[in-house]
Structure 1
């Protein structure tokens, strides 16, 4: 059986066997090269929408052959199917089944997050970094947290909901931070516990330091963002600043979503730029994102910075 169709049927069984709304999750992950011939496709569930993302132009007739199969096998609880063409200029999306609700949210337990489905390349929530959110949930209570490259602030929402004292969210995009603010409001969180700085991080250490000190820092940069960040050249600049941001020590969550760089890349940077930091462990990759080459998966490493 077509493995994409098999995963969809498993989702339908889950949906039809419960009256509760399921958490958002990746239904099918072809990009991990586990499923030959389907390396270009992923399928995500955000109640009540399915998002089919195509990262390369599919073979001729692939959509015409597969969309009817998807529609025939979805639960009645699915209202909409959106297809995003990530290989095409502008990353256009099209609604191929049903109508898109006015608002769609990513659901994570009791928490919800605004989504921008069919509007832009990144929809506002990343499913693959959930292991890091779960780790943060266990560590956040009473901590002062710096969330660098905060995007729409899902780390901050999780941390404050778990009892963080304060979270400072920094990102170049004021639009992303505005969505982050909306995510905090959506979840009824204390607005006095979150702060937002729309800054080029590498040029704004003074303001970032002034909002501290911190005892937990999250580094989650893009692998490459033209004109602002290149992980190969710039990650060291982040790590070098940790001691002054965390004068009393603390924990560091260091993430890297570059399949061409392995754990050792981060370990070498910490060894040279911040020898006070001790490597503790790598968080396991999300099981919904299997990969034939584990070194190409999202890296989520935890370090501890010694006091003083």
Structure 2
């Protein structure tokens, strides 16, 4: 097995053409080392604008190892970056905030700005999540949305920090609605809007997915036996030209359970019904144990049962900074055209 230094050098070499392409299109947020596929499981190295983020999930790095990796990356890029090291190897992927290996400079932990497809994004190297507010493996899907949103109404479900919504606005969408349960996520989405003042303002709805999408789809909202439903925003049934569905792997609320392995259809069905007759639904599944072919068949069968057969079904794979040795990356994205 190659040493860590050799593995990183090979990864940086393999990315030369991709990075030149990304820089030319106005992108400085990308993965420099995808350890699980490039020789060091549990280690990732990402660039987010002026920030270099190194994270270890299985085993802590020594200070010498960390600084050597950072130097290799900066030498390859020809830039000095602000280093943040998040050691998540101690349990439950939580950061060791005592920073026994490396204490980041205060400037590195400030809110910064990264760029993708020419857009400005708020990035934060250390917060409760595992990414600085922008999931890098979804870049190609955001690029597709940006290229195909002109004049459309767009619904961004499980919007997180609203990167898909921002891409749609940049692509000329006439209306963009971002829906997420967490106000903190939407607050960052609002920041992203402020960072791109030339774009049409987006809309934001804080709501659990199930009551919101079922209202939009014209379906009833049922309480579980013995449970009273909490308050939720009231929405009018309607359809959108482009709907983006990117749910987490698992989540539970008073309204229902998100379970990508056992029950993707409960998420998909109302999203299909909220998509216009000649519209587009983009759906994602980030579970590695779910095979693309099996999931695609399930999605197409669900659409057919609803009387909404597909005219086309495309796959959008992550870019080359997320290599997959078996050609089956965890993140799977389908573009469904009705």
Pick aligned residue for 1:277 from 305, 309, 333: 309
What stretches of structure 2 of length at least 5 have no aligned partner?
218-235
CA distance in 2, matches of 1:167, 1:26: 28
Asked whether 1:70 is paired with 2:102, we answer no
Structure-1 residue corresponding to 2:286? 257
Query: SS at the partner of 2:261?
Result: helix
CA distance in 2, matches of 1:67, 1:219: 37
The Cα RMSD (Å) is 3.0
CA distance in 2, matches of 1:11, 1:66: 21
Q: CA deviation at 1:21?
A: 8.2
Number of matched pairs: 296
Structure-1 residue corresponding to 2:330? 297
C-alpha distance 229-91 of structure 1, shift in aligned 2 (>3 A): farther
Structure-2 residue corresponding to 1:230? 259
Q: CA deviation at 1:97?
A: 5.2
TM-score (norm 1): 0.84
Structure-2 residue corresponding to 1:31? 36
CA distance in 1, matches of 2:171, 2:58: 39
C-alpha distance 200-233 of structure 1, shift in aligned 2 (>3 A): farther
CA distance in 1, matches of 2:112, 2:14: 22
Structure-1 residue corresponding to 2:270? 241
CA distance in 2, matches of 1:8, 1:252: 35
What stretches of structure 1 of length at least 5 have no aligned partner?
none
CA distance in 1, matches of 2:33, 2:196: 28
Asked whether 1:148 is paired with 2:152, we answer no
Q: CA deviation at 1:177?
A: 0.8
Structure-2 residue corresponding to 1:167? 176
Q: CA deviation at 1:56?
A: 1.2
Query: SS at the partner of 2:156?
Result: strand
- Bigger CA drift: 119-128 or 139-148? 119-128
Pick aligned residue for 2:167 from 143, 158, 165: 158
C-alpha distance 155-267 of structure 1, shift in aligned 2 (>3 A): same
CA distance in 2, matches of 1:21, 1:296: 25
For residues 88-111 of structure 1, the C-alpha deviation after alignment (integer angstroms, 9 at most, x for no partner) is 343345454544343312211421
Structure-2 residue corresponding to 1:81? 83
- Bigger CA drift: 71-80 or 145-154? 71-80
Q: CA deviation at 1:190?
A: 4.5
8 Å contact kept, 1:160–1:189: no
Pick aligned residue for 1:133 from 113, 119, 142: 142
C-alpha distance 288-211 of structure 1, shift in aligned 2 (>3 A): farther
C-alpha distance 8-272 of structure 1, shift in aligned 2 (>3 A): closer
CA distance in 2, matches of 1:98, 1:236: 46
CA distance in 1, matches of 2:112, 2:203: 25
Q: CA deviation at 1:82?
A: 0.9
Asked whether 1:201 is paired with 2:200, we answer no
Q: CA deviation at 1:143?
A: 0.8
Pick aligned residue for 1:100 from 101, 107, 111: 107
For residues 243-284 of structure 1, the C-alpha deviation after alignment (integer angstroms, 9 at most, x for no partner) is 431243311111111100012343233233221232422113
CA distance in 2, matches of 1:41, 1:179: 26
C-alpha distance 195-201 of structure 1, shift in aligned 2 (>3 A): same
CA distance in 1, matches of 2:309, 2:271: 9
